[in-house]
């Protein structure tokens, strides 16, 4: 009986042999400097792999957001008359779950520069798309009302959290965390919460990461013609969104250390053990008599918070120690 208690206690001491922090992979980053190949005399679209849908002003400014270095922008120059938006993105096309790094983080430094000499003002957004080109969710900055909101897929409704606004010509850091394994995302700007624990997709769209897009939605105006018909027309402002320090990373989920519980012995002297851990994590139950040479008893996936194992090799052994080793 005493040896069983010692075994259970010592097993717990060996559970931190594996790192528990998630590993980070850099997917993409851009600061739009000349050293990265960016030219201030050209549109951003067409440089360093940036692509677009729609038309309108975009490029790289010599004097950036902070006054030092360069920054990209979208807006300012009106789109073609038939276009009411411009979307600019860097294709990433990453499958987080298959890669084993389901947490994707996006951050960007941004500022909305107001229109000058006109009352027309537009909406700027950051939208996340999957690899099939389906929009998953958007975070919007409305330059007319200066409010901040978000829109999920499968709906045209914009959620406007109360008292959430921005100020023109002010620098903000937008940070978005997406957990594709859990189908959840959260976002902040300058550490102010925009959304938390929201669904990445509400319509069972493909859960992978295509790109994080800068979006310009043009203001819509209207007039009445000679026949009394109301005609809608684009009425863009000369406002624009500056952005810099665009970064995307992918992370593995942190591994919570497992816990081994010794449940006792059978009449045959076999050891009864239970391994507690995160659902879906894989742990090898290992045993030793000398704390030097370890033998794998069983490797199994945790389901329902734990898995049980019978150590039939424990019969006749008076002193036996156990540990759980994480298996990626």
CATH of the domain at 305: 2.60.40
Edge-to-edge strand order for the sheet containing 282-288? 295-301, 282-288, 321-326
**102 and 242 share a domain?**
yes
**6 and 69 share a domain?**
no
Chain mean position to CA 303: 26
| pLDDT score of 17 more than 60 | no
Q: Which domain holds residue 296?
A: 2-20+255-326
**49 and 181 share a domain?**
yes
**247 and 299 share a domain?**
no
**239 and 168 share a domain?**
yes
What are the pLDDT digits (tens) for 85-96?
Answer: 999 999 999 999
pLDDT score for 278: 84
Task: Grade residue 2 by pLDDT with cuts at 50, 70 and 90.
Answer: very low
**148 and 288 share a domain?**
no
Return the sign of the alpha-carbon dihedral for residues 288, 293, 297, 299: positive
Q: Is 54 left (phi over 0), alpha (psi -120 to 50) or beta?
A: left
Task: Grade residue 22 by pLDDT with cuts at 50, 70 and 90.
Answer: low
More confident position, 145 or 229: 145
Number of domains observed in the structure of the chain: 2
What are the pLDDT digits (tens) for 97-120?
Answer: 999 899 999 999 999 999 999 999
**110 and 237 share a domain?**
yes
**158 and 217 share a domain?**
yes
Environment class of 11 (CB within 10 Å of its CB; exposed 0-12, middle 13-18, buried 19+): buried
Task: Grade residue 80 by pLDDT with cuts at 50, 70 and 90.
Answer: very high
**What is each CA distance from 149 to 197, 241, 244, 275, in whole angstroms?**
15, 16, 21, 44
**208 and 166 share a domain?**
yes
Q: Quick one: which H or E segment has residue 324?
A: strand 321-326
Comparing 210-219, 230-239, 265-274, 301-310, which segment has the lowest mean pLDDT? Answer: 230-239
Q: What is the pTM of this model?
A: 0.75
Cβ–Cβ under 8 Å, residues 104 and 178: yes
CATH classification at residue 214 = 2.60.120.560
Domain boundary among 226, 251, 276: 251
What are the pLDDT digits (tens) for 164-175?
Answer: 999 999 999 999
| pLDDT score of 325 more than 70 | yes
pLDDT score for 212: 98
Comparing 26-30, 83-87, 148-152, 299-303, which segment has the lowest mean pLDDT? Answer: 299-303
Q: Which two tokens stand for residue 175?
A: 């940070």
Domain boundary among 203, 228, 251: 251
Q: How far is the C-alpha of 147 from the C-alpha of 139, rounded, in Å?
A: 11
What are the pLDDT digits (tens) for 24-74?
Answer: 999 999 999 999 999 999 999 999 999 999 999 999 999 888 777 999 999
pLDDT score for 116: 97
Domain boundary among 236, 251, 266: 251
- Average pLDDT, integer, range 278-285: 85
**201 and 266 share a domain?**
no
pLDDT score for 301: 87
**132 and 149 share a domain?**
yes
**306 and 237 share a domain?**
no
Strand partners, 251: 24, 103
């Amino acid at each position: 009986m005493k040896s069983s208690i010692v075994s259970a206690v010592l097993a717990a001491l060996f559970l931190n042999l594996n790192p528990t922090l998630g590993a980070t992979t850099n997917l993409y980053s851009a600061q739009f400097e000349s050293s990265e190949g960016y030219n201030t005399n050209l549109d951003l679209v067409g440089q360093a792999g940036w692509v677009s849908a729609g038309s309108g002003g975009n490029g790289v400014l010599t004097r950036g957001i902070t006054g030092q270095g360069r920054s990209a922008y979208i807006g300012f120059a009106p789109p073609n008359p038939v276009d009411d938006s411009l979307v600019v993105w860097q294709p990433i096309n990453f499958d987080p779950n298959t890669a084993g790094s389901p947490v994707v983080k996006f951050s960007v430094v941004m500022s909305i520069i107001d229109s000058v000499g006109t009352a027309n003002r537009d909406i700027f957004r950051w939208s996340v798309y999957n690899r099939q080109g389906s929009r998953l969710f958007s975070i919007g900055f409305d330059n007319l009302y200066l409010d901040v909101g978000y829109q999920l897929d499968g709906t045209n409704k914009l959620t406007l959290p109360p008292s959430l606004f921005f100020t023109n010509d002010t620098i903000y850091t937008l940070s978005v965390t997406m957990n594709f394994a859990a189908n959840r995302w959260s976002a902040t700007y300058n550490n102010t919460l925009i959304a938390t624990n929201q669904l990445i997709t509400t319509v069972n769209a493909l859960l992978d990461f295509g790109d994080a897009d800068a979006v310009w939605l043009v203001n819509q105006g209207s007039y009445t013609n000679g026949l009394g018909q109301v005609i809608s027309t684009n009425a863009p402002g000369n406002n624009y969104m500056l952005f810099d320090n665009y970064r995307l990373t992918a992370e593995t989920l942190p591994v919570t250390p497992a816990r081994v519980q010794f449940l006792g012995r059978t009449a045959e002297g076999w050891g009864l053990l239970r391994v507690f851990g995160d659902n879906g994590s894989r742990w090898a139950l290992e045993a030793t008599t000398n704390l030097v040479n370890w033998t794998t008893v069983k490797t199994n996936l945790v389901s329902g918070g734990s898995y049980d194992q019978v150590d039939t090799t424990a019969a006749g052994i008076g002193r036996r120690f156990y540990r759980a080793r994480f298996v990626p």
